[in-house]
Amino acid sequence: MSTPLIPEKLYGIIGHPLAQTLSPALHNWGFARLGVAAAYAAFPTPPEKLAAFIQAVRTLPIAGLSVTIPHKETVMPLLDAVAPSAQRANAVNTLVWEDGLLVGHNTDVTGFVAPLVEREGLKSVLVLGAGGAAKAVLAGLSELGITDIVVTNRDLERARKLAAQFGVSAVGWEERTGACADLVVNATPMGMKGKAEEDSPLPPGFWKPGQTAYDLVYNPRETLFLRQAAKARARVIDGLTMFAAQGAAQFKLWTGLDLPMEEVRDLLARALYA
């Protein structure tokens, strides 16, 4: 029987609230799986405590952090530097020490792009939503060189503001079904368990064979949005794919090691859907 490693480095996640976070389960499993002497903990941090916590990070032996709602934007001025991906998304979800500097990265962008890299024929995109998740989507699409993009949101002014930030188009929510798109990304909470699980941001008649539906909602894994798309013979990408990829990208930033992705997805699926 192998002897458990004594943690030499401490990582964690900051956000508020953190009761439902899967990050400790993922990263502690990863450390054990790859033999890394490290531990990962949740640090619930209300907004009024954020600045003090980041100051404490500079004196405590904390090697890196995940950042989640509501700190992804407000943490940025508290850092020494922000990586290009995080600058494009105007949001940070990972903190890393680099040459003595506390640097912010955005692996949500990496996670979003991961399942699209091998897919051909994605030239036009409809993005549903205009919040923080949509920013990561648009930053990722920019990395892929896709420019024919339409953003829509119930608040048209919010959609226009986000579209202007990335140099793309915006349409009103009522006009979204008129958009032609090879790829449609749901960056809204619609379909999320406990909120709007039986809702979809698009009517079932929207879909055509050959389109790709990508839902950032990962609980439930098969949302109404994806079920309707699959029924019309569109390709589907579930939110667990992005969630797993962004977590693995965080792990690699901290350790330089690649997590086995099939095992990561199985781990997260068991945690979420058991």
- CA-to-CA distance for 167 and 170, rounded, in angstroms? 10
Q: Which of 68, 66, 52 is nearest to 16 (CA)?
A: 68
DSSP string over 77-132: GGSSEE-HHHHHHT---EEEEETTEEEEE-HHHHHHHGGGTT-----EEEEE--SH
* Annotated catalytic residue, options 49, 72, 135, 193: 72
Angle subtended by helix axes 239-255 and 261-273, to nearest 10: 120
CA gyration radius, the chain: 19
Is 72 catalytic? The answer is: yes
Report how far residue 261's alpha carbon sits from residue 138's, in angstroms, rounded to the nearest whole number.
24
Residues catalogued as catalytic: 72
